[in-house]
Chains A and B, each alone.
Chain A
């Protein structure tokens, strides 16, 4: 049994008097214990909404979530709010994009780490603070004793993200969802945080869902990659297959637009033409069709189905890319 089995997850945002917007459109994927799964796509493709839906953190009003999110066989979407709350932080942890705004500015770091231990492990404050110190040490925060009493604005961005990772992993969850955990950090710190994440999930056997638009992150971390476009999975592949042979024109376009050191001088960087606003609804055809170089008539006649590929992945395309792309 998979650790997490997302089946036909649908999230529709609806406002009175407006046309409903399908942010996540029948997305299915699985996460095995200890595996690292990437959700990749550009802004607005439904990555973050998917993660919030799994966590049950979408606002109560204005949206409709359907499908199944099976976590160890139990459907998280059908749990009572109290039961779901007990699982959040204990069985599923989450790391957010902006480490400064994700920490409570008026509570010292130590207490914020301790809070989750008190909540889920029934520790008293003293014991929780002691463990918090060890956790901060474990995520590589220097002088953890002192950091315990410091406020988020007093420590660096990299340390804040480390503190958030410590909080998310405090109860040793079986699944960690990282929503663009390195976007708000500068490049050197990004590398450190990714190394740390990789090390921690390896050591603890925590499964990781890595949500990112950064293919470099995917290349370094993920076992399996789901490429999302317009709320649907358009391609799923093992990491090496994806980088060696991206079949979907969108994935292919993303890979070709990564700048490379060995490309000839003066050559213009490849870009996918158009923008997300050119999308057509999936009901009419392939949402990517208006921006696609490989578009054929069938693309506008209805949504292409997600079909298994020879390499064990899945692909949603009528006219996939044939040639090989060199790994960037």
Chain B
């Protein structure tokens, strides 16, 4: 192979049409200097466009979609708030302030006052700071639950799709059983099975609920890939089975799964909040968590100060909406049928 003489067709065949990438020397000679410069500039500008990756292509299309922009703004703000919560929050979220506790009774929870924009929570802590710190918990639970669910789902789906046959059948029947149960019910069952509830039980419960969804999705596209022409072409080149699965089938099957992950994030936030709301989450009273704030404080003191329920509920809804909008927009952007 090192000897270029023996290489097939080193003398590149000059076969008209297709080689018309630039303008031939002879033609340029007939043009004026100005036009020549213009042509060269054109040739450069088209040349620079080479190498538009699939990702950049998708980003370009996302930026033209107002729904995606709204979703991205919400998600972006949410992530920023979560990261910089200690800087944004006016107070420590677990500290009880004398200004707030002095008037605090079961029938009176102090509202907005100077230094405490949203007033007190039922224990005399700054409600606004707790709301802001709640975003960290939501992001933490959402990310981990999604990533764990995605990881396990991809593993199961890839094994089922790569091996097919009875392995596929066995794995898919298990996912069938899991999908047959309503997701929240399954999550509650899983949490209830744990002897002691921590935030990790919530994360795992929510993650496992999402495993069958990822597994099915990936398995389906893997099976479609297995029959595809380019996989056959790879086989015809003698590519090893392991590489066919890892390099040819899996990367081409991941788009749907990645989009699903964004949507799952919204569902994970809602599920985790629901578990906390039902009192199945971490019982730590110091932890600021929207579902817990809504379920325990918001419910108990709804008649005294309904804001305790409104704000966490609003936060959950807005963030879930942001991720759903972004996920749907991504689905549209990545869908090859929309490619222009």
What residues of chain A have their CB less than 8 Å away from a CB belonging to chain B?
Answer: 55, 57, 85-90, 93-94, 96, 98, 101-107, 115-117, 119-121, 123, 131, 134-135, 137-140, 142-143, 146, 149-151, 153-154, 156, 158-159, 164, 167-169, 172, 188-189, 192, 195-196, 199-200, 203-204, 206
Q: Do residues B51 and A146 form an inter-chain contact, with CB atoms below 8 A?
A: yes
Q: Which 4 A-B pairs have the closest CB atoms?
A: A89-B237, A88-B238, A89-B238, A101-B229
Residue of B nearest to A162 (CB): B18
**Chain B interface bracket (under 10, 10 to 19, 20 to 34, 35 or more):** 35 or more
Task: For the A-B complex with A138-B8, A204-B8 known, give 4 more contacts whose Cβ atoms are closer than 8 Å.
Answer: A102-B229, A103-B230, A119-B243, A134-B10
Asked if B182 lies at the interface with its beta carbon under 8 angstroms from chain A, I say: no
Q: How far is the CA of A18 from the CA of B240 in the complex (A)?
A: 34
Residue of B nearest to A56 (CB): B235
Q: Do residues A196 and B238 form an inter-chain contact, with CB atoms below 8 A?
A: no
**Beta-carbon contacts under 8 Å, B268-291 to A:** none
Chain B 11-27 per-residue mask, 1 if CB under 8 angstroms from chain A, else 0: 01111111101000000
Residue of A nearest to B12 (CB): A140
Q: How far is the CA of A115 from the CA of B236 in the complex (A)?
A: 13
Q: Do residues B233 and A103 form an inter-chain contact, with CB atoms below 8 A?
A: yes
A137 and B12 contact, Cβ closer than 8 Å, known pairs A94-B236, A102-B230: yes
CB distance from A180 to the nearest CB of B (A): 12
Q: How far is the CA of A188 from the CA of B51 in the complex (A)?
A: 27
Q: Do residues A94 and B233 form an inter-chain contact, with CB atoms below 8 A?
A: yes
Q: How far is the CA of A192 from the CA of B17 in the complex (A)?
A: 9
CB neighbours (8 Å) of A96 from chain B are 229, 232-233, 236
Out of B1, B17, B235, name the residue touching A131 (CB < 8 Å).
B1
Q: How far is the CA of A107 from the CA of B252 in the complex (A)?
A: 9
CB distance from A56 to the nearest CB of B (A): 9
Out of B9, B54, B243, B339, name the residue touching A196 (CB < 8 Å).
B9
CB neighbours (8 Å) of B234 from chain A are 104
CB neighbours (8 Å) of B47 from chain A are 143, 146
CB neighbours (8 Å) of A98 from chain B are 229
Supply 30 A–B pairs (Cβ within 8 Å), ascending by A: A88-B235, A89-B237, A94-B236, A101-B230, A102-B232, A104-B234, A104-B247, A104-B252, A105-B252, A107-B247, A119-B237, A119-B239, A123-B1, A131-B1, A134-B10, A137-B12, A138-B12, A140-B9, A140-B13, A140-B14, A140-B15, A140-B18, A140-B19, A142-B19, A146-B47, A146-B51, A158-B18, A192-B16, A195-B13, A206-B8
